[in-house]
Amino acid sequence: MKNLNNKKILFIICGGISAYKSLETIRLLKKNSAEIKTILTSSAKEFVTPLSVASLSQGKVYSDLFSLENETEMDHISLSRWADVVIVAPTTANTISKLAQGTTDDLASAVILASNKQIYLAPAMNVRMWEHKSTKTNLKKLKDFGYKFIGPEIGDMACGEYGEGKMSEPLKIADELNQFFLNQSQNKKFKALVTAGPTNEYIDPVRFITNKSSGKQGYELAKCLSKKGFDTTLISGPTNLEVEKDIKLIEVETADEMFAATQENLPVDVAIFSAAVSDFKVKNKSQTKIKKEEALNLNLEKNIDILNYISNHNSMRPEIVIGFAAETNEVLKNAEEKLNKKNCDWIIANDVSNKNIGFNSDYNEVVIHYKNKSLKSEVLPYKRKSEISEEIVDRIIDQLN
């Protein structure tokens, strides 16, 4: 497990009988030269002692949100920034519930909420608790927020029952973390570019033509690429969204600006064109505000097709070029046509006549059309845009590797 070498792991232990396995997990991570800091919730201290955790991790053990000593030495925000990855093992039903609500009533939950790193949860609880509707609803939320799960496993439980809810074994947890760092180091060398949002095409200094794109789909893709280790550039038309600081954000307004920014940020290994670029711009844009008494006839000319230009570039074409197709009718036929006409490797089609998906929704449902694969197309059914993005990025990683 050489990818754990020198990695900073924030290990959070919650109060459950499986906490004893955390000691073995810490020992294993330490043996593979990871640097560990630990947080114990107050109920975790009923199961393992701070002294045993400190001895095994050879690192500081934190537990109190209001400890003057600890907050002066490393406050909870710095603690969440210090880590390369965060693991919560065991994660109890109570912690799952708190994270789903965004409650921060102790150090562990405050650090997790403040973290900008990948967070792994290794749940452990009674099978009925695991299967309870409220836990299932909370889990769905957490997956949507980007938390990753290790386990739980099926088997005999400490309470005497049998079923799903056992915390994964230390070796499995250490293996998953090792794999996370391996993927990160492999993807780190890859560069990604994403276009997102609408463009504004000005009629005069105060009026413009635009569309309903919110940028959500493109921002989720950029977030996911960055989290998985890609060096990510996001070229965005006007949106109300925020980006993580690891992503290089270039804000543009018009299609011409988006085109220039795209060219300036090549070469990349993968480019995803999710922006809803205006197909037309106003030919003779007025330099002054047009008076309402004047008759207004717009003379439009075609914008450059950014995707088409990049995918046909001789020297700068990314290894994988992915376009989106926003269609209202004959979705599959039009998407196939765009795949070929725009020389893409993949076209991701969404039916924007459906009001629940596509433009400005948190959800999407897409069909990926592949050019040079034996699998011609693949449906990613109705899901949050964050989950759709995860699935797209996993397929990109498979293809690049």
By beta-carbon proximity to ligand PMT, the closer residue of 16 and 323 is 323
**By the rule CB under 6 A, 261 interacts with ligand PMT:** no
Choice from 222, 252, 326, 331 touching ligand PMT (CB under 6 A)? 326
Phi, psi for 267 (deg, rounded to 5): -85, 155
**By the rule CB under 6 A, 369 interacts with ligand PMT:** no
**By the rule CB under 6 A, 330 interacts with ligand PMT:** no
Instruction: Quote the DSSP letter at residue 315.
Output: T
By beta-carbon proximity to ligand PMT, the closer residue of 123 and 197 is 197
* Region from 22-30, 49-57, 105-113, 209-217 binding ligand PMT, contact rule CB under 6 A: 209-217
**By the rule CB under 6 A, 200 interacts with ligand PMT:** no
**By the rule CB under 6 A, 252 interacts with ligand PMT:** no
Closest to 128 (Cα-Cα) out of 167, 97, 163: 163
How far apart, in Å, do the first and last CA atoms of the chain sit?
20
By beta-carbon proximity to ligand PMT, the closer residue of 265 and 360 is 360
Q: Does 159 participate in catalysis according to the annotation?
A: yes
**CA geometry: angle at 229 spanning 228 and 232, to 5°?**
100
* Region from 109-117, 139-147, 160-168, 304-312 binding ligand PMT, contact rule CB under 6 A: 304-312
**By the rule CB under 6 A, 350 interacts with ligand PMT:** yes
Q: How far is the CB of 237 from ligand PMT (least distance, A)?
A: 9
By beta-carbon proximity to ligand PMT, the closer residue of 232 and 274 is 274
Which residues are paired to 391 by β-bridges?
none
By beta-carbon proximity to ligand PMT, the closer residue of 170 and 218 is 218
Choice from 216, 227, 369, 383 touching ligand PMT (CB under 6 A)? 216
Do residues 163 and 170 lie in contact, with contact meaning Cβ atoms separated by under 8 Å? no
* Region from 58-66, 163-171, 176-184, 273-281 binding ligand PMT, contact rule CB under 6 A: 273-281
Choice from 25, 70, 80, 213 touching ligand PMT (CB under 6 A)? 213
Do residues 222 and 234 lie in contact, with contact meaning Cβ atoms separated by under 8 Å? yes
Buried b (16+ CB within 10 A) or exposed e, 161-179: eeeebbbbbbeebbbbbbe
Closest to 235 (Cα-Cα) out of 207, 266, 212: 266
C-alpha distances (whole Å) from 146 to each of 90, 100, 118, 191 are 18, 11, 8, 21
Active site residues: 159
